[in-house]
C-alpha cells in the first residue's frame, strides 16, 4: 500500500522539500506526497511543489470562519485520499472538525523543545529567555496550539554568538532530519500512545 501524504504550509516550504526529498530517495518508503495545500496563495512552498510535479492548491483562508475553512481543506485532502497530514510551517490552528477527520494522523513540526516556547518566533523566545539548549519537536496535532503527544525532538545548543538567524538555521537543519524520522515512526505503526507518551515497540 502506498502511503498518501498531504502537506499543509503557509510559507517557504523547506520542511516540505525535506520530506519530498526523503520520499524521492526512498528514506520514507512506500509513500508519495499526494497534494500540497496552502492558506496563503503567495506561499513559495506552492511553487516548490509544482516544480516537483506535485499537485499544489491554494485555499485562501482570509475572511472565513475556522471550521468553514477547514471543511474545504478536509474535502481536498479526502479528494486526494490522503492518510497522513504533515503541517510544515502551517500557521493556523485546526478546528475539532479537522482533527476528528484524521485521528492521530496529523503531524506538526515546531522550532522549539515543546512545551517551551509555543506560538510565534520560538527561536527568538528561546534567545530572549536565555536558555542554553533550544531545538525542535514533531508532535501529533490536536485542537490546541503546539500541543499533542511528542513523537521526536532534537536538541540544539545555543551559542553565545547566536542571533535569531544563526540559531534558526541550525534548528532548521534538525527539523528537516527529525520530520522524516517522525513520519516513518507513524507510517510503520510500531508505537502506542500512553497518556501523552508515544512509545515505540521493540
Q: Would you name the residues annotated as active-site residues?
A: 110
Report if residue 175 touches ligand GAR, rule: CB under 6 A: yes
Report if residue 46 touches ligand GAR, rule: CB under 6 A: no
Q: How far is the CB of 57 from ligand GAR (least distance, A)?
A: 16
* CA nearest to 111, candidates 135, 144, 141: 135
Contact 184/200 with Cβ under 8 angstroms?
no
Partner residues linked to 37 by β-bridges:
8, 57
Report if residue 174 touches ligand GAR, rule: CB under 6 A: no
Contact 23/88 with Cβ under 8 angstroms?
no
In the region spanning residues 125 to 154, those forming contacts with ligand GAR, defined by CB under 6 A, are: 146
* CA nearest to 2, candidates 23, 27, 36, 31: 31
Residues 110 and 122: their CA atoms lie apart, in Å, by 8
Single residue of 56, 138, 141, 172 touching ligand GAR by CB under 6 A: 172
Report if residue 167 touches ligand GAR, rule: CB under 6 A: no
Report if residue 12 touches ligand GAR, rule: CB under 6 A: yes
Report if residue 15 touches ligand GAR, rule: CB under 6 A: yes
Residues 190 and 198: their CA atoms lie apart, in Å, by 10
Binding region for ligand GAR (CB under 6 A): 9, 11-15, 45, 88-89, 109-111, 122, 146, 172, 175
Amino acid at each position: 500500500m502506498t502511503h498518501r501524504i498531504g502537506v499543509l504550509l503557509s510559507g517557504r516550504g523547506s520542511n516540505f522539500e525535506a520530506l519530498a526529498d526523503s520520499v524521492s530517495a526512498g528514506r520514507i518508503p512506500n509513500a508519495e506526497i499526494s497534494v500540497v495545500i496552502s492558506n496563503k496563495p503567495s506561499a513559495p512552498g506552492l511553487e516548490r511543489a509544482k516544480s516537483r510535479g506535485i499537485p499544489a492548491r491554494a485555499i485562501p483562508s482570509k475572511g472565513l470562519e475556522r471550521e468553514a475553512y477547514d471543511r474545504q481543506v478536509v474535502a481536498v485532502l479526502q479528494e486526494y485520499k490522503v492518510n497522513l497530514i504533515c503541517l510544515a510551517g502551517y500557521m493556523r490552528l485546526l478546528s475539532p472538525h479537522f482533527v476528528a477527520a484524521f485521528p492521530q494522523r496529523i503531524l506538526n513540526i515546531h522550532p522549539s523543545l515543546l512545551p517551551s516556547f509555543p506560538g510565534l518566533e520560538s527561536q527568538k523566545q528561546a534567545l530572549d529567555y536565555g536558555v542554553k539548549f533550544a531545538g525542535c519537536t514533531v508532535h501529533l496535532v490536536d485542537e490546541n496550539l503546539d500541543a499533542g503527544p511528542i513523537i521526536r525532538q532534537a536538541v540544539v545548543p545555543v551559542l553565545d554568538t547566536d542571533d535569531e538567524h544563526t540559531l534558526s538555521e541550525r534548528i532548521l537543519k534538525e527539523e528537516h532530519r527529525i520530520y522524516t524520522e517522525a513520519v516513518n515512526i507513524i507510517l510503520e505503526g510500531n508505537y502506542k500512545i500512553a497518556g501523552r507518551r508515544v512509545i515505540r515497540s521493540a
